Every structure is written in C-alpha cells, then in structure tokens.
Structure 1
Amino acid sequence: MQPSPARVAAIVLTGGASSRMGRHKPALAVGGRSIVARILDAVAGWPVVVVGSDAGVPERTPVVTEEPPGGGPVAGIAAGWDALIERPYAAGPTPRPPDVVVVLAGDLPLLTRAHLESLVRAARHGRVAVTRSSTGPNWLCAAWPAPLLTDRLAAVGSPEGVSVRRLLAGVPSVEVVDASDVATDVDTPEELEDARRRVEGPGV
C-alpha cells in the first residue's frame, strides 16, 4: 500500500534585521518579484504563514508577528506554528494538523518546489531534514515532522532569544544535499546581484 500524501504546511520568517544587506531582504526584487513572493510561489498550495514584516508579501497571505517582535528565529517559528494549528487542513468536521512543517528563512530567492519536496520526503522518516548547500547546512531551510517540532518548542520553553541550534539539540536529523544551490540565502548586496544574474541573466 502506498503511504498517504503528507499534509505539509510552511512557515516563512521575515523578521530578521538584514544588517549586512542594509535593506529588508525579503522585500528585495529578484526576477521582477520580491524574494518572499518567490518563496511563497515555491510553497503554493500548502497552508502557509509569514512571521515578521509584511513588506513584499502578496495580499491575502497570513502574516503574524513573533512575541516579542525581534525575538529571534525560534520565537518566529513558535508564532508561526501557533498560527498554523488554528487553521483547518482538511474538509469535514475534523480538521487535521500537518504531518510536516517546512521552516524557511525569508531570503531564499532561488528556492524550488522540487527541493522542498525532497525535504518533506526525508522528514517523513521522523527526522528533521536540513538543507546542505555549497555554503554548508541551512537550518532555516528545513522540514520538521510536526510532532517533533511540537515537542521541541515545548522543551525550550520561552522561545525569545533561543537559537535554532538549541531547538535542534539532540534531534534526529538528516541532510538533504542541494547540489544546484537553489536554497542559498542572500546576506550581502553581492549575493543579491549573483541571485539576480542566475534568474535574469548576465545583463542585470
């Protein structure tokens, strides 16, 4: 018997300071669309919530704020998860929560659905699936089994200031190789221009 399709939801974090870029990264344009809009294209059809700033976020996309604002990525993940579990995931009288939660930074302009589906498949074995690109592991391009995420958020208590490394402490994980570097983030103006060249061609 084939396993049933995973119910997948996504949390996109846009609350970072963007200090090295000097501008709010998720709202910057790549290929004629904001970075955060491109990420939302990759998760299209899945329940999604953006946590942090709504700059560059398409209309009708749910946006919430972490508590406290600027409380860090784990505070954002916790706020996103709380918002997601309040939404129905299936028709009928008994809404079901997702099986897998994809957690994404808001600065991934080249992200593809194919890579996310690879993460989801790996996470269905009870492990956190973490992207490994040429620059190393990216813990904010990862897929979590929902029960595992729930347990870890409860274990860390107040999420303010908690690092993703601490959230992952002792958690079974697997790396999913990103050979094409589609999950590379952009932290500097130079990395932004490189992403634009990859999408738009060398004339930008």
Structure 2
Amino acid sequence: MAEFAAVVLAGGRARRLGGVDKVLLPVGGRTLLDRTLDAVAEADPLVVVGPPRTTARAVRWTAEDPPGGGPLAGLQAGLAQLPAETRAVAVLAGDHPHLTPATIARLLAALRATPDSAGAVLVDAQDRPQWLVGVWDVSALRGAMPAEVHNRPLRAALAPLAPVHVPAIESEASDVDTPDDLRNARTAQE
C-alpha cells in the first residue's frame, strides 16, 4: 500500500460547459481526468467517483447513491472505498489541468508538518481555500462527515477542520468550469 490514497470526484454535470463530460475534455493532449490522475499516480488506492470512463491509469470506480448527490456525497462514496488502515487521502476534483505530483507532495508535507491539523488545502492568490485540492487525515475526514450528505456543501464539512493553507504556485489551483477556463487551460499548454 502506498503512503496515501486519492479520491477524485468526476461526477458533475458541467452545466456551464453545456453538459459535456468535462473530465474527458483534452488539454495538452490528455483529458482533464487523466491530468488529475497523473498528479496522484502514487496513491493506492486511486478511487474515482463518477461514471466509469476510459483512463490511462487503473482506478477503482464508485458512485454516490443515488447519483447526482453533489461533492459531499461523492466524497462519502470515495471514503467508503478506502482500506481501514489508510491514513492520508488526497481529495481532488477531476477538472484541474495544472496539478502536478509536486502539488500533492507540498500538501502532504504541510499535513505532516502540522500534526494537529486534519488537512492541508491549496489556496488561490486571494487565500481562498480550494476544497477540492487537498490532502486530509482520513480519520478526521470520516469523523467530519455529516449524517446527511446529499446536496450539502463540501465546505460545510471541511471548513470546521481548519486545514493548513498551502499557497498555489502559478495556475495549479485553476479548474475548468466555463468555456473561458477551458480556453485558458489549453492556451497555457501551448
């Protein structure tokens, strides 16, 4: 077993992108999902929450029940796939084109450096936590999950854990929610 696991949320509806399966959109010759999976290639297990798709890496697929319950429900479904002995988990959205293994390594290092902390999250230039780019203590994360997770905000469960803030470098906090975001991600890869 690797030092940490990963849960990648890839079940959103991409309304602002016209409902396309956005994690399959290409950026720099790779899908957004594969680019995100590359950042956590060392994770074991590597769990993806959403409908099964073709990926460049072997992953464990799962889905929230019922589907469409939002990120918190997806996180709960992903956590259920982790072995009991898993101590740390990267929690990511599947639409981050600029994450790298170095991003995840910085988050892991921040978590280890502050043993009293339940997690470490990337923050953008305005110091806003990116709740879907973080590494968490699994037991703290499981303990923070509310009884009802469907259609509840992820921030409501994660913010009380007071994670360490890790400043993003360049565009690593960016995600793809709109056509402009996709265009910017593709331009940055040229």
Q: Secondary structure at 1:195's aligned position in 2?
A: helix
Structure 1 residues not aligned, in runs of 5+:
1-5, 86-95
What is the aligned counterpart of 1:138 among 126, 130, 142? Answer: 130
Distance in structure 1 (CA, Å) of the matches to 2:34 and 2:167 = 24
In the superposition, the TM-score normalised over structure 2's length comes to 0.89
What is the aligned counterpart of 1:51 among 41, 49, 52? Answer: 49
Distance in structure 1 (CA, Å) of the matches to 2:89 and 2:35 = 18
Distance in structure 2 (CA, Å) of the matches to 1:41 and 1:31 = 13
Aligned to 1:15: 11
Alignment check: 8 A CA contact 2:37 2:57 kept: no
Structure 1 residue 169 displacement after superposition: 4.3
Aligned to 1:37: 34
Q: Secondary structure at 1:37's aligned position in 2?
A: helix
Alignment of 1:163 with 2:147, yes or no, is no
Distance in structure 1 (CA, Å) of the matches to 2:98 and 2:159 = 28
Q: Rg: which structure is higher?
A: 1
What is the aligned counterpart of 1:128 among 116, 119, 133? Answer: 119
Paired positions, count = 183
Aligned to 2:97: 109
Distance in structure 2 (CA, Å) of the matches to 1:29 and 1:138 = 22
Distance in structure 2 (CA, Å) of the matches to 1:56 and 1:177 = 32
Q: Secondary structure at 1:12's aligned position in 2?
A: strand
What is the aligned counterpart of 2:179 among 176, 189, 192? Answer: 189
In the superposition, the TM-score normalised over structure 1's length comes to 0.83
> Matches of residues 56-135 of structure 1 in structure 2 within 5 Å?
56-58=54-56, 60-85=58-83, 97-124=85-112, 125=115, 126-134=117-125
% identity of equivalent residues: 39
Structure 2 residues not aligned, in runs of 5+:
none
Q: Secondary structure at 2:102's aligned position in 1?
A: helix
Q: Aligned AA for 2:147?
A: G
Structure 1 residue 121 displacement after superposition: 1.5
Q: Aligned AA for 1:111?
A: L
> Matches of residues 168-183 of structure 1 in structure 2 within 5 Å?
168-183=158-173
Alignment check: 8 A CA contact 1:27 1:56 kept: no
The CA RMSD over aligned residues, in Å, is: 1.7
